[in-house]
């Protein structure tokens, strides 16, 4: 039975990813951009153009192109990026850890601050604390990240000098750190270079806090809503009648019941962070996945776009699976299903 | 308790970050750090490199037989060739190589390297191959056209009797860079003549070698100790990818970079009075223009072209919107180059434009779609044009798109009007004359990358004159021929040349010796000190 469930899961995963790739592939082909021009430039001769088109396989019917691409993917070959000239696997191996590191940093902040904020805002509904929390969430939701990023750089980097500037690590350490995981905070610690670690930390803190703020705004808002719903239920009234403390009511009675949808919200928020925050990455010169996919899309570099899409798709599928696995621990009712 | 722990944690986090920030306040003394958008690089192989940044990098890594003189672009100076002799018919040039010159690998520069380098450009047929293919070279004849004829001698043959200045200028362009054959062959795969390896490694004799390139992140050049001109003062030049102009501004203000290369007018204005920073302006070869596609019946009347020349607020755009990033220029060959004409007879004159339109019976209400790249300065120029054209009854619909999108449409001649720019591929007037004054076959089946073909402007008479200038052997007479061409095209073409670009670069005051010529081939770091 378990083997059947596993097989079904794998089949669903493969169909989902193949569908995702097919849709992305078709969109790429109907875009009004000639990928050959993006590679050979505006002035290339017709002969050069034709040769490049052939080399890129664009002279073949679209279904042949897609078939060849899928065949490559099955072998672990995501093709060659026409805009960077590098194998897509190498490009993604460089860009994804940068995004992952920033996303983890941001989601930790989002959860550590967003959850308590949402819980207490629900508990103190319509008080100044609730209004402040809601304003903070709304501000995070409505402020352009581009603007806020530049303002943060201006204040904390250029004026106060509290943090380092754009990029992932200082120039002096950029090529001295032995790369192991691609996550610089880990790699610098692993290599025992304390100054390099401080440099990496000093670089990630500003974009990390900024993305963390946007993440916590979403998590806090949703947590508040779920908690209000729970706090209005009869079992909470009963707990109060029985004399349970407010802290106990909040954290032992209501919060565990709100946790299932909250975990879904956290997973979604993390998934969006993993897609790459293009504007944040632009402002902070952070060489992540979002920037890579966007730039590739603008130059019709379909191998790169498809490779990036595949990674993001796998991330979402894995996150969904992870949340499904967590549910039974949070809500015993789901174990029976 | 929780509050105190939180405060302590926050303080610790910022203290940790601030300490690290202090460590990085300045760039190392023997390293030049440049903030630049470098995500246009596709390949660093001179036979393939055709983007702005790759051109600049290749120029700092490789030498050519002859090279442009950054101080005087009118002259081509010896590079790897010590001297050259040109046959009476102009079809044969014999180059004598300098002795004792070595590649960064330590291998000597030999005639075989020259033959290999020029041959591979033609055989590989990558984007810049057309520059050398103009000599009548192709994969079948290249072995006869470029030959080793002595231990220090290479003879090249040109298919036609082109003007020697044209040939030398084209040989000073990027694809004619000389590659270390032994290194390239050693690293070649699948008969690619080392193309894949050279795309991300270097094998040149120039002042720098490529240490590492991480696409979309950074590129590091390292001083070549074997450079014939003496090792550069900077041990390393690091090009950091920073796409956002505001971020570049903050970085140079903070001393994290020594040079910021992609600043807009706002950032330049903000930095102009900052004590540790200087702003330098370098005239560029790139020209901005808008064109009308004559495939559309409604755009074929020359009176419309003439009226439009009076419907651009040239000075207003240059001074108010572009603020020093461009200057008004109205002919097809840029100021500062031999043979350039600086006539600028047109200015905003709505009354005159209306008069011309009325005489030609072109009624108000004409609607034209104009494609343009959706970023500054195109959007700024486009909006200004929209406003001034409206005053004469011409409705301009702006169609912004990505660069690749706009070029795709232009290449297919699907536009009505196009707002774009053009940069010469080498510093001979023919580079632009061919683009703006040559088209002998307007058929859809004969696509050309020229502005004339892309706008369907068939010009047999101008083409003949362009061709005559190309083979004229008397340099002075030749330049006069280009001057006449520029004046005629200025008055009669279905496009309006508007501005010449100027690069505004912010440098820390202590940086000196940075050379920023009119094209990316002439952005040189070898003399930089700080």
ipTM attached to this prediction: 0.84
Per-residue pLDDT tens over the stretch B32-73? 999 999 988 889 999 999 888 999 999 999 999 999 888 777
Same structural domain, A31 and A114: no
| Chain A nearest C-alpha distance from B3 (Å) | 13
Work out whether strand B236-241 and strand B218-223 pair parallel, antiparallel, or are unpaired: antiparallel
Flag whether residue B23 sits within 8 Å of chain A, measured between CB atoms: yes
> Does A233 reside within a domain?
yes
Strand partners, B400: B372
Q: Are B282 and B342 in contact (CB under 8 A)?
A: no
- Kindly tell me if the per-residue pLDDT of B93 is higher than 60: yes
Q: Average pLDDT over chain B, rounded to whole?
A: 93
Domain co-membership, A179 together with A224: yes
Same domain, A63 and A149: no
Encoded tokens for A125: 């509904």
Biggest CA-to-CA distance, chain A: 85
Summarised one tens digit per residue, pLDDT across range B104-123 is 999 999 999 999 999 999 99
Token pair of A205, please?
């803190």
Q: Is residue B97 a contact partner of residue B109, using CB atoms and an 8 Å limit?
A: yes
Indicate whether A6 belongs to any domain.
no
Which tens digits make up the pLDDT trace of B62-75? 999 999 888 777 78
- pLDDT exceeds cutoff 90 at B156: yes
Indicate which of A56, A97, A167, A200 best probes the interface with B, i.e. most B CBs within 10 Å of its own CB: A167
The pLDDT of residue B378 is above 70? yes
For residue B144, the tally of other CB atoms under 10 A from its CB is 9
Does residue A209 sit in the same domain as residue A321?
A: yes
Domain annotation covers residue A115:
yes
Give the DSSP H/E element, type plus range, for residue A299. none
Secondary structure percentages of chain A, helix, strand, coil, to 5: 75, 0, 25
Domain count, chain A: 2
| A contact residues 182-211, partner B, Cβ 8 Å cutoff | 195, 198-199, 201-202, 205
Residue A85 located in a structural domain? no
- ∠ CA A301-A304-A308, rounded to 5°: 135
Regarding predicted confidence, which is higher, A90 or B1? A90
Nearest to B247 among A46, A153, A291 (CB): A153
* Cis peptide upstream of residue A304 (ω within 30 degrees of 0): no
Residue B290 Rama label (left phi>0; alpha psi -120 to 50; beta) = beta
Q: What percent of chain B shows pLDDT beyond 70?
A: 95
**Mean pLDDT, contiguous 10-residue spans, chain A (337 residues):** 76 84 83 81 82 87 88 88 88 94 95 94 92 87 86 92 92 84 93 92 95 92 94 92 91 91 93 84 91 85 89 89 87 69
Q: Which of B62, B54, B59 is nearest to B37 (CA)?
A: B54
**Cβ of B328: how many Cβ atoms within 10 Å?**
19
The three-state DSSP-derived secondary structure of A91-120 is: HHHHHHHHHHHHHHHHHHHHHHHHHHHHHH
**Interface membership of B270 toward A (CB under 8 Å):** no
Is residue A173 domain-shared with residue A32, that is, in the same domain?
Answer: no
Alpha helices in B392-474 (DSSP H): 403-411, 429-437, 451-454, 460-471
Domain boundary pick from A9, A43, A74: A74
- Is A282 in the same domain as A192? yes
- Kindly state whether residues A63 and A117 are assigned to the same domain: no
| Residue A6 to chain B, least CA–CA distance (Å) | 39
Identify the CA nearest to B68 among candidates B80, B57, B77.
B77
Q: Do B247 and A32 touch (CB under 8 A)?
A: no
Chain A / chain B CB contacts < 8 angstroms: 182
**pLDDT score for B2:** 47
Please give the model's pTM, rounded to 2 decimal places: 0.88
**Bridge partners of B35?**
B240, B260
Q: Are strands B277-292 and B417-422 parallel, antiparallel or unpaired?
A: antiparallel
pLDDT for A45: 81
Count CA within 13 A, CB hemisphere, residue B69.
11
User: What mean pLDDT comes out for the span B167-176?
Assistant: 95
Q: Which residues does A262 contact at the CB level (< 8 Å), separation at least 6?
A: A115, A118, A219, A222, A223, A226
Average pLDDT over residues B306-314: 97
User: Within this chain, do residues A269 and A207 fall inside the same structural domain, yes or no?
Assistant: yes
How close A206 gets to chain B, by Cα (Å)?
Answer: 10
- Pair type for strands B495-508 and B277-292: antiparallel
Around Cβ A180, how many Cβ atoms within 10 Å? 10
Same domain for A181 and A62: no
Q: Same domain for A169 and A314?
A: yes
DSSP state at residue B98? P
Q: Is residue A304 within 8 Å of A84, Cβ to Cβ? A: yes
Backbone angles phi, psi at A100, to 5 degrees: -60, -45
For the purposes of burial, counting CB atoms within 10 Å of the CB of B374, is it exposed (0-12), middle (13-18) or buried (19 or more)? Answer: middle
Please check whether residue A11 lies inside any domain of the structure. no
Q: Mark whether A159 and A296 lie in a shared domain.
A: yes
Spatial separation of the C-alpha atoms in residues A50 and A318, rounded to whole Å: 41
Element housing B413 (H / E): none
Closest CA to B54 of B190, B198, B185, B184: B198
Distance of CA B266 to the CA centre of its chain: 24
Range of the domain at A56: 17-74
Residue A5 lies in a domain: no
Is residue A195 in some structural domain?
yes
Residues of B in contact with A167 (CB under 8 A): 240, 242
Q: Tell me: do A119 and A151 sit in the same domain.
A: yes
Residue B153, CA distances (Å) to B34, B83, B84, B110, B158 in order:
39, 10, 9, 9, 17
pLDDT at A116: 94
Is A251 part of a structural domain of the chain?
yes
CATH assignment at residue A120: 1.10.3720.10
Residues 173-202 of B with CB under 8 A from A: 199-200
8 Å CB contact between B290 and B399: no
Q: What angle do CA B41, B47, B51 make, to 5 degrees?
A: 25
Inter-chain CB proximity A171 and B28 less than 8 Å: yes
Distance from A322 to chain B by nearest Cα, in Å?
30
């Amino acid at each position: 039975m378990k083997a059947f469930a596993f097989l079904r899961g794998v089949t669903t995963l493969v169909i989902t990813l193949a569908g995702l790739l097919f849709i992305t592939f078709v969109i790429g082909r109907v875009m009004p951009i000639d990928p050959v021009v993006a590679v050979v430039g505006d002035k290339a001769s017709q002969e050069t153009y034709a040769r490049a088109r052939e080399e890129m396989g664009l002279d073949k019917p679209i279904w042949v192109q897609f078939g060849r691409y899928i065949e490559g993917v099955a072998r672990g070959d995501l093709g060659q990026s026409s805009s960077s000239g590098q194998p897509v696997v190498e490009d993604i191996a460089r860009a994804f850890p940068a995004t992952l590191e920033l996303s983890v940093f941001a989601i930790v902040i989002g959860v550590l601050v967003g959850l308590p904020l949402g819980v207490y805002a629900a508990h103190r509904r319509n008080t100044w604390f609730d209004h402040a929390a809601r304003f903070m969430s709304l501000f995070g939701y409505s402020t352009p990240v581009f603007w806020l990023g530049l303002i943060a750089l201006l204040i904390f980097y250029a004026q106060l000098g509290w943090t380092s500037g754009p990029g992932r690590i200082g120039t002096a350490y950029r090529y001295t750190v032995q790369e192991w995981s691609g996550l610089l905070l880990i790699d610098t610690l692993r290599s025992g270079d304390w100054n390099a670690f401080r440099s990496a930390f000093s670089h990630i803190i500003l974009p990390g806090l900024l993305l963390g703020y946007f993440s916590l705004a979403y998590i806090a808002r949703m947590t508040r809503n779920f908690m209000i719903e729970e706090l209005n239920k009869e079992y909470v009234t009963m707990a109060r009648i029985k004399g349970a403390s407010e802290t106990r009511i909040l954290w032992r009675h209501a919060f565990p019941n709100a946790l299932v949808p909250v975990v879904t919200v956290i997973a979604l928020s993390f998934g969006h962070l993993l897609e790459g925050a293009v504007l944040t990455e632009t402002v902070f010169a952070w060489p992540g996945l979002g920037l890579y996919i966007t730039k590739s899309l603008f130059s019709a570099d379909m191998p790169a776009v498809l490779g990036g899409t595949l990674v993001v798709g796998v991330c979402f599928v894995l996150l969904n699976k992870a949340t499904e696995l967590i549910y039974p621990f949070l809500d015993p009712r789901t174990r029976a299903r | 308790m929780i509050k105190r722990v939180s405060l302590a944690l926050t303080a610790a986090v910022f203290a940790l970050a601030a300490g690290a920030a202090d460590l990085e306040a300045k760039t190392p003394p023997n390293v030049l750090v440049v903030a630049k958008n470098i995500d246009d690089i596709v390949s660093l192989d001179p036979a393939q490199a055709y983007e702005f940044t790759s051109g600049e990098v290749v120029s700092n890594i490789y030498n050519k037989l002859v090279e442009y003189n950054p101080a005087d672009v009118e002259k081509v100076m010896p590079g790897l060739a010590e001297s050259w002799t040109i046959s009476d018919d102009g079809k044969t040039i014999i180059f004598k190589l300098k002795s004792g010159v070595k590649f960064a690998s330590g291998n000597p520069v030999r005639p075989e390297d020259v033959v290999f380098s020029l041959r591979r450009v033609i055989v590989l047929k990558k984007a810049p191959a057309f520059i050398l293919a103009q000599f009548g070279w192709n994969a079948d004849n290249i072995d006869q056209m470029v030959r080793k004829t002595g231990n220090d001698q290479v003879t090249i043959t040109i298919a036609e009797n082109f003007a020697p200045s044209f040939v030398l200028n084209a040989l000073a362009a990027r694809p004619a860079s000389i590659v270390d054959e032994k290194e390239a062959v050693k690293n070649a795969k699948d008969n690619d003549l080392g193309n894949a390896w050279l795309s991300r490694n270097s094998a040149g004799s120039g002042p720098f070698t490529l240490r590492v390139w991480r696409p979309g992140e950074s590129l590091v050049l390292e001083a070549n100790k074997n450079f014939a001109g003496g090792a550069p003062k900077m041990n390393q030049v690091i090009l950091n990818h920073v796409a956002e102009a505001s971020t570049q501004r903050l970085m140079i203000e903070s001393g994290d970079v020594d040079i910021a290369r992609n600043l807009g007018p706002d950032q330049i204005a903000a930095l102009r009075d900052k004590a540790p920073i200087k702003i330098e302006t370098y005239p560029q070869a790139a020209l901005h223009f808008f064109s009308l596609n004559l495939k559309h019946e409604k755009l074929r009347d020359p009176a419309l072209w003439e009226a439009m020349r009076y419907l651009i607020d040239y000075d207003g755009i240059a001074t108010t919107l572009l603020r020093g990033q461009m200057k008004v220029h109205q002919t097809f060959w840029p100021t500062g180059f031999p043979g350039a004409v600086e006539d600028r007879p047109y200015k905003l004159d709505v009354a005159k434009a209306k008069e011309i339109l009325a005489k030609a019976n072109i009624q108000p209400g004409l609607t034209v779609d104009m494609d343009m790249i959706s970023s500054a300065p195109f959007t700024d120029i486009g909006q200004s044009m929209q406003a001034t054209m409206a005053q004469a009854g011409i409705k301009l619909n702006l169609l912004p798109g990505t660069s690749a999108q706009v070029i795709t449409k232009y290449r297919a001649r699907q536009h009505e009007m196009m707002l774009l720019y053009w940069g010469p591929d080498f510093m001979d007037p023919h580079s632009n004359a061919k683009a703006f004054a040559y088209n002998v076959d307007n058929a859809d089946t004969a696509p050309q990358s020229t502005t004339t073909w892309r706008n369907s402007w068939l010009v047999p008479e101008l083409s003949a004159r362009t061709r005559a200038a190309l083979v004229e052997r008397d340099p002075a007479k030749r330049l006069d021929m280009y001057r006449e061409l520029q004046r005629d095209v200025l008055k009669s073409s279905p496009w309006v040349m508007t501005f010449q670009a100027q690069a505004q670069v912010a440098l820390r005051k202590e940086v000196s010796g940075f050379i920023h010529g009119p094209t990316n081939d002439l952005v040189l770091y070898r003399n930089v000190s700080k």
